[in-house]
Amino acid sequence: MRDNSEIMANGDQLKALLRSHAEGDDRHFYSVAMQMAAHEAKQGHGKLAEELRELIDAAKARRNASGRGWSDPAHKAQRRACRAVERLLPFAPI
């Protein structure tokens, strides 16, 4: 069973991940995502940790190949559209 400090750390990491995404801070976004993958590995969730690392690596590769980051106008428009949809939809846990 998880203790409250572990739940808070995961909650704080999730908030930091979303905040960095919204602000277009790729470096911080990937850093927090890797911290989350490392945490999952320490918890014995090796498959999840590996999948997270693969997703992070693939996202970095796509970003580098396109030469565009979150500050690119297309990405800014995409973020605005996502925020608009999020305001319209009720929260539904996955």
pLDDT per residue as tens digits for the range 35-82? 988 888 888 888 998 999 999 999 888 887 766 555 566 566 666 666
**pLDDT for res 7:** 59
Please name the residues in contact with 91: beta carbons below 8 A apart, sequence gap of 6 or more.
Answer: none
22 in a structural domain: yes
Cα separation, 29 vs 19, whole angstroms: 8
The residue segments making up the domain with residue 64 are 4-88
66 in a structural domain: yes
Higher pLDDT, 11 or 78: 11
CA angle 89, 10, 26 (to 5 degrees): 75
Average pLDDT on 84-88 reads 60
**pLDDT for res 93:** 46
Question: Model pTM?
Answer: 0.62
Report yes or no: 30 and 56 within 8 Å, Cβ to Cβ. yes
84 in a structural domain: yes
**pLDDT for res 47:** 92
57 in a structural domain: yes
11 in a structural domain: yes
